[in-house]
Every structure is written in C-alpha cells, then in structure tokens.
Structure 1
Amino acid sequence: MIKQIPVLDCCTLSGYKEDELLVDHLADYLHKHSSLAFPHRHNFYHMVLFTSGGGAHAIDFTRFEVRPMHMYFMVPGQVHTWEFEGEVNGYVINFSREFFQSLLLRPDFLNGFSFLNGIAQDGAFQVPAHMEEEMTAFFERIYEQVNRVKPLQKDLVSVMLLYVFMRMEQQLSPAEKHKFPVYNYTLLRNFQKLIEQHFTNLRLPKDYADLLYITPNHLNALCKEYLGMQAGEVIRNRILLEAKRLLVSQDMTISEISDELSFNDNSYFTKFFKKLVGMTPEEFRKNKA
C-alpha cells in the first residue's frame, strides 16, 4: 500500500461533537495544535483570515506572505506549510465535505466558487480595504455562533459561511476580474475540472477538447488568452503539482511515483520533472526534506 504525507482529519482537530466543523481564533488554534506536522494535507476544507502577524505559508509549494487581512482557502488534498513570525491571530474555519449537504441540494455547489478550485494562486488573496471591517465582524459572529450559542444551529452557520463565500466571490471571481464571456469562463472551468479527473491518463489537449466538444485550436486559444499559456502546459502543470505532492512523502520511491502518474518509466518521469523544475525528483525531495 502506497503511503502519502500526513493527512489531517477534521474530527481530530474539532471539538464539535459531529466533527464536521471547527471555528476558532487562530492564536488559540495554533496553541491547541502546536504539534501539527508539516507539510501536511487536509481531508476537509480549510480557510483562514489573518488579523495580525507575519511570516509566510505555502499552498501546494506556492509561497504567500502573511499580513493582516490576508485570507486563504484550501480544498481537500492540497499540501500546506506554515512559517509564522510574531504574534499571529485571526480566524480559522475547517469544515467537512459533507457539512453543507443537509442544506444544499447540489453536491457540487462549492465547486462554483473560484477560490475553491484547487489552484493555490486563486485561493489566497488580500481582503479589499472596503470589506475589512465587514469580514472581521462576520467571522467573529460565526465564531460566537459556533462556540457560545447553545444549541448550535448548523444550518444558520452554513448560511453565514455561504454569505462570506458569495461576498468574496463578488470581489474575486475571475469572470468579473478579467471580464470573461460567460461561455468562455465555463469552458475553462470545465477544462480544469476534467484535468482534475483525468490528468494521470489523459495528457493531450485533443483528449480534453473532445470531451468539451470543441477543437484543440479553440481550447489552446482560450487558455492562451485567459491563462497566458497553452492547454498542454496547463495539463503538464497539474501533473507536476501531483508529482511534487507525492515527492514530499519519504515513503514513496521514485518508481512508485512514476507508476502512480502513469509514466512509462522512471527515466521519462525524471526528464519530465527536471525540464519543468530545473532539478531531478531526488534533488527536489532532498530540498524539501
């Protein structure tokens, strides 16, 4: 059985009896969980709003500076590390995949938010100045509702969280920021979703273009215009990300990782990795150890 890097379970962190939700002040959370192993993955959704402190954190090996009113969102499976400086505080909210199920009829509802697409750069951002007071106050209201109001009204908390998501989406949606035509934005999001499902076995833009019922040229043009790269590069970047995630585990050999990602042999995987990263998989692993 292939082992991977530590995976944190919501129920191991949460004091809430149904183990679907945790809301805490960040300073208290860090004190309670000072022994967290890094890097690690979550099997739940994770969001943090910083109100003070400094340092950095990394999502899927992309580094972000910590500053007041910096916010980030993470989806299950992403790799995370912290390197905080000074007195760090704010709010942390963890919730399970199932948390919204009793309220929402659409199981894929959360996938519609641009910051929950699993792309690190889209999940970390600075809260706009005109929203700072509103967001801080609303996070405190969620904290009060979860930790001090008895009995806990789960659906009310769900609605409060969805309000936060929708307010942030209004400010941050790539469709609005870049003025995507709705059809093109939908195509790109569907392309990204298909990559998540098939990146280990479908490597060519033509494969995805067929699934989207468009031509490879059309897909390449969309990616070039809105993402600044060809469709093939988008696919390769996702394969590379998974390779990095797996390399962080000292329990998987290079051969096992190569097989996991459907490469024909180790040498081809090594050439692929070194061409994109500038070092071999072994060197990357030692560098991150």
Structure 2
Amino acid sequence: MKNTSPPRKYSIKNIKKTPQHVVDFNFYSFEQFLKDAEHLTKSHRHDFYTFVLTVDGVGSHIIDFEEYEIKPRRLFFINYDQIHSWKLDGPIHGKIILFSKSFYNLIYTGNSDIRSDTALENLPTYVDIEEEDFSSWLSVCGHIEHEFKKSEKFSEEVTCLLLKTCVLKMERIAENSNPASSRTDHKSMLVDAFKKLVNVNFRELKTTSDYAHELSITANYLNSLVKESLGKPAGTVIRNRVILEAKRLLSHSDLSVRQISLELGFTDNSHFGKYFKKSTGLTPDTYRKNSINN
C-alpha cells in the first residue's frame, strides 16, 4: 500500500544543498536544479514562491492535481503550500527562481498591483510567452542571475525590483489573454476580495450568502460579479476550494475521512461525503483508494 503521509514541505534552504547564507532567495538553471533532486518528482510543498521559465524540454508539471505540459516559453508560478511534482521525459532547459514573501517585500510599496498580498495571490498557474517577447524575459532572468551571483551593494534591492517586474509582466500576459480580467474598478476589487476571503475562510463559510455578508453586498450581486469575472458562479468557486483541500488531505495525509470532514468544517460525516461526491463523482473513500493505487 502506498504511503499517505503528508508531502514534505521544503524551504529555500533545504530543497537543495545551498550555501549557509541562502535563506530567502535562490536562482538556478533548470539543469542545475535537477541535479541530485530525484526527491522533487514526489509530491511536495514549498514555504516560498517559485517562478519556472522553460526554454525547452519534455514532460509535465503536476500542481494541485492538475497536470500541465512542459513546453517552450511557458512560465509557471507556484504559490506557498501548493502540492506539486514533476514528470520529466527528457532534459529540461530553463530558469528557476525561488523567493520568500519577506524577500519580495524587501522594498515595500502601497501599489496594489505589486503588493505580495494582492498581485502574487492572483497570478495564474502559468502563462505562455509570445516568441517575440521571450528574449526580454531571458534578459530579466539574466539580470536577476547577475545580481544574485555578484552580491554587490543593493543587489538584493535590485533583485526585488526585478521580481516585481516579473509579476507585472506575467499579470499583463494573463490579462491580454483574458481582457475581462484586466478591470481595476470597484467590481473587480470586490471579486478579488471575495477570492481572498474564500481562501482564508473556506472551512467555516460555504455559501455565497456568507461571503456576500462579509463584503456587505447581496448574494445575487456577488454571484453576478463573480460569474462575469471568472466565468463561474460564486458557489462553484467556494466548492472548488473546499474540494481542493479535501483532495490534498485524502491523498497526502493519514487523517481518517471523519477527521478530514471535521477539518473542513463539516460536523456531519455523511454531509461531507455527499458534498465531495457531488463535485467529483466519487466518495471520499473511493477517491483515496484511487489516489493510493495510482
């Protein structure tokens, strides 16, 4: 039987052997990163942010149970605590940037477009960079690598600013791919606030009305805003977050289904089972058995 113990959580310092002073930031070529890193093909978490820019290679990247193809000019963003692993079918070339919240906030700004608690939380899992724009991304990565290796006066500050550049550039690509997401009016601010509330409160609050109350608007208005912005009802966003956490716990913990139902705010075990099956088509026990056997 496959071990269901929790996936290991890595820091920047221990994900690979690094110099003693490396705590909040590191930079690797993909080839360098994969040396002595067989453990990273197993599901694991990070207590840091990661940018992965692929130049070429074959394989896939599994992030929170979704499998994404590795392909040229694809930029991945991995958030804190996401469960992920790699399936590599050959050599990969690219750049990997690891950085903590404290490092990103080294230079503080009140601009919500680049604050860590807003911009980074809203970045997509990946974007595909146009060929004509790719050289500018490689240039930014080159500058970051240069500052990291030189470690001169203000190198950390310059690197922090370059990271903020990456965030803005990635968000711009995402918005160009989905123009409806580029609004910065009051409506989009409400949708962003809703997403943050769901991520923090999904264990306790599970209805659109709960979140509408928190935002001081009606449930119908919140549902309309979310559907317009995200293409799905507010209730689906809430349910998806609960189910994601349930899948994480079923696949990567030794908690019983009863304990998981309590962890997710369900006082009735049968209610959790029906809730899970409605979204996945499987009972929690069946999902766990399938994940163990895969």
C-alpha separation in 1, matches of 2:237 and 2:169: 28
- Say if 1:87 and 1:18 are closer, same or farther in 2 by CA, change over 3 A: closer
Aligned to 1:143: 145
Check the 8 A contact 1:5/1:246 in 2, yes or no: no
C-alpha separation in 2, matches of 1:152 and 1:181: 32
C-alpha separation in 2, matches of 1:215 and 1:66: 42
C-alpha separation in 2, matches of 1:234 and 1:35: 32
C-alpha separation in 1, matches of 2:37 and 2:92: 14
- Say if 1:41 and 1:210 are closer, same or farther in 2 by CA, change over 3 A: same
Which residue, 40, 61, 65 being the options, matches 1:61? 65
C-alpha separation in 2, matches of 1:181 and 1:58: 31
Check the 8 A contact 2:55/2:94 in 1, yes or no: yes
Check the 8 A contact 1:74/1:116 in 2, yes or no: no
Aligned to 1:265: 268
SS at match of 2:104: coil
C-alpha separation in 2, matches of 1:282 and 1:10: 35
Q: CA deviation at 1:225?
A: 1.9
1:242-266, CA deviations, whole angstroms, 9 ceiling, x for partnerless residues?
1111112242221221110011222
Aligned to 2:160: 158
Q: CA deviation at 1:231?
A: 1.2
Which residue, 161, 180, 184 being the options, matches 2:183? 180
C-alpha separation in 2, matches of 1:66 and 1:49: 10
For 2:122, give the aligned amino acid. N
SS at match of 1:76: coil
Which residue, 42, 49, 55 being the options, matches 2:53? 49
Q: CA deviation at 1:172?
A: 1.9
Which residue, 227, 230, 235 being the options, matches 1:232? 235
Give the total of aligned pairs. 283
Aligned to 1:94: 98
Alignment pair present for 1:111 and 2:117: yes
C-alpha separation in 2, matches of 1:183 and 1:171: 22
C-alpha separation in 2, matches of 1:27 and 1:276: 39
Aligned to 2:197: 194
SS at match of 1:57: strand
- Say if 1:76 and 1:136 are closer, same or farther in 2 by CA, change over 3 A: same
Which residue, 75, 79, 82 being the options, matches 2:79? 75
Where structure 1 has 5 or more consecutive residues not aligned to the other structure, the ranges are none
Alignment pair present for 1:248 and 2:251: yes
C-alpha separation in 1, matches of 2:168 and 2:73: 17
Check the 8 A contact 1:6/1:37 in 2, yes or no: no
Q: CA deviation at 1:152?
A: 7.5
Check the 8 A contact 1:175/1:182 in 2, yes or no: no
Which residue, 206, 214, 217 being the options, matches 2:217? 214
Q: CA deviation at 1:283?
A: 2.2
For 2:126, give the aligned amino acid. A
Q: CA deviation at 1:228?
A: 2.1
Check the 8 A contact 2:61/2:68 in 1, yes or no: yes
Where structure 2 has 5 or more consecutive residues not aligned to the other structure, the ranges are none
Q: CA deviation at 1:224?
A: 1.9
C-alpha separation in 1, matches of 2:264 and 2:276: 12
- Say if 1:180 and 1:159 are closer, same or farther in 2 by CA, change over 3 A: closer
Check the 8 A contact 2:41/2:86 in 1, yes or no: no
Q: Percent identity?
A: 30
C-alpha separation in 2, matches of 1:21 and 1:79: 20
For 1:110, give the aligned amino acid. S
Q: CA deviation at 1:90?
A: 0.3
Alignment pair present for 1:205 and 2:211: no
Q: CA deviation at 1:38?
A: 1.6
- Say if 1:58 and 1:282 are closer, same or farther in 2 by CA, change over 3 A: same
For 1:221, give the aligned amino acid. S
1:167-213, CA deviations, whole angstroms, 9 ceiling, x for partnerless residues?
22222237972153622211110000011111100111111111111
C-alpha separation in 2, matches of 1:197 and 1:32: 36
CA RMSD of aligned residues (A): 2.3
Aligned to 1:9: 11
SS at match of 1:188: helix
SS at match of 1:273: helix
